[in-house]
Chain A
Amino acid sequence: MIVGHYATALVAHKEYPLLPLWACMVAAMLLDIVMGTLLVTGVEHMTPANPENPKLTEMTIDMTYSHDLLPVLGWTSLGALCGFALTRSWIGAAWLGGLVLFHEVLDGFSGFYHFIFGPESPRIGLGLYEIAPMIALGIELLVCVACAWWFLRNTQARLWQSAGLYSVLVIGCAVLLPYAI
């Protein structure tokens, strides 16, 4: 899940506007930002079985430090600290920390298997990227539409703004289609 996480940030900002939208966006995507950085530096790995035609179902992945549950609790604490620093409020801390933790929850429904800490520990999540990636993308699309609707309701958003936001989220889900089919 990629844009689905950003969609949750829209809901958080709508419900607690004292948190800047950029902070909500970064918190919701923090685990993937960490993962992307660790992939570039070679600490974590995402290796397709066939690099010419990569598929989600054929990936060998290692996201121990970015996505396993114990490190995620640390990233959640970091998010909460930043939320408190930005708002001087425990509510802001809970929202920003909650966004980080909710990333892990959503990945449980639409993502790879994760683990408690390391591949030898018990795994968590449905692992739909590995067994049914199209269903995983469908779940992400539902999350995106629901969050965008929540964000846009009771606003005076112009048509181009609503259409643009929905379009970006749908395209964001579709980006992964070639890897799921």
Chain B
Amino acid sequence: MTTLVLIAVFYVLIMIFARGVVSTPESNNTDAEACQS
């Protein structure tokens, strides 16, 4: 159970910070370029 709790806690924490980075304007441009290719 400890393993699953650790996995869940760090999933949430990393998503909080990483999603914020993904949504920055330059990252969105990168997304758009990837879509075009």
**A25–B15 contact, CB under 8 A?**
yes
**B17–A21 contact, CB under 8 A?**
no
- Contacting residues, chain A, for B14 (C-beta < 8 A): 3, 6, 10, 25, 165, 168-169
- In the docked arrangement, what's the CA distance between A155 and B26, Å? 6
Q: Which of A35-43, A67-75, A97-105, A127-135 contacts B (4 or more CB under 8 A)?
A: A35-43
A168 smallest CB distance to B (angstroms): 5
- In the docked arrangement, what's the CA distance between A16 and B35, Å? 9
**A164–B6 contact, CB under 8 A?**
no
- Contacting residues, chain B, for A156 (C-beta < 8 A): 24-27
- Contacting residues, chain B, for A3 (C-beta < 8 A): 10, 14
Size class of the contact patch on chain A: 35 or more
- Contacting residues, chain B, for A25 (C-beta < 8 A): 11, 14-15
Number of interface residues of B (CB under 8 A): 25
| From A6, A22, A157, A164, contact of B16 by CB (8 A) | A164
- Contacting residues, chain A, for B21 (C-beta < 8 A): 151-152, 155, 157, 161-162, 165
Given A25-B14, A36-B1, A168-B10, 18 more pairs with CB closer than 8 A: A2-B10, A3-B14, A13-B18, A13-B22, A17-B31, A18-B35, A21-B22, A25-B11, A32-B3, A36-B4, A152-B21, A155-B24, A155-B26, A158-B20, A161-B20, A162-B21, A165-B21, A169-B14
Chain A interface residues toward B at CB < 8 A: 2-3, 6, 10, 13-14, 16-18, 21-22, 25, 29, 32-33, 35-37, 39-40, 46, 151-152, 154-158, 161-162, 164-165, 168-169, 172, 175
Chain B interface residues toward A at CB < 8 A: 1, 3-4, 6-7, 10-11, 13-22, 24-27, 30-31, 34-35
